[in-house]
Amino acid sequence: MTRKQFVSMYKSLCPKADSERFARYIFRAFDLDKSNTVDFHEFLIGLSMTSTSSLPQTKLEWIFQVFDIDGNGLLTRSECTEVIDALVRFNYSQQIDGQNDDIEELIRTAKQSMMRIFNNISTSHCNTLTMTEFVEGCLKDELITQLLAPTVDNTHDSTIIQNTHDIPTIAE
């Protein structure tokens, strides 16, 4: 399917959300061969990567492609905050039935967690992350791990959910 068809599919499946913005990011990760289409094989791989049964490291390696907006193999702070914003807005709108009272706080908290990953990579506060740095940093941050790489074990972790006001996950 083309990008336009992919976005259209997301819009029909998720009419309440800003699915176009979110689908544009996801499409890039599904399109493994960068052909500007997603074939059935690529679609199945993408679905398996977002499954709660996939290992967090495997999911985060795949999700790196979602965050890498310019496709250069490095994530910038700007790319990460942009995708975090789209991800939280999309997932939150799907789970909360339009109650957006806490969405800005959820986005702020998620962005702060992501920026801590950048800040903790080096003492010089780096401005880019490689895939390895991204995965390692995300695995050390409970909020980001639950948001980006939920597993059967952490999908219902009550302490994280209480502390983040039920931040939705990419796989739900």
Does pLDDT of 132 surpass 90? yes
- Section 123-142 average pLDDT: 87
Q: Which of 144, 153, 160 is nearest to 54 (CA)?
A: 153
Q: What is the pLDDT of residue 157?
A: 43
The length of the chain in residues reads 172
Q: Quick check: is 171 in a domain? A: no
Q: Quick check: is 168 in a domain? A: no
Q: Quick check: is 82 in a domain? A: yes
Q: Which domain covers residue 146, as residue numbers?
A: 3-163
Q: What is the CATH number of the domain that holds 89?
A: 1.10.238.10
Element at 38 (helix H, strand E): none
Q: What is the pTM of this model?
A: 0.79
Number of domains the chain is built from: 1
> In this structure, which amino acid lies at residue 52?
T
Q: Quick check: is 66 in a domain? A: yes
Per residue in 51-98, pLDDT (tens digit) is: 777 789 999 999 999 999 999 999 999 999 999 999 888 877 776 555
For residues 152 and 169, the answer to whether their CB atoms sit within 8 Å is no
Give the separation between CA 155 and CA 21, rounded to whole angstroms.
24
For residues 113 and 48, the answer to whether their CB atoms sit within 8 Å is no
User: In the chain, what percentage of residues exceed pLDDT 90?
Assistant: 45
Per residue in 7-39, pLDDT (tens digit) is: 999 888 887 777 888 888 999 999 999 999 999
Q: Quick check: is 32 in a domain? A: yes
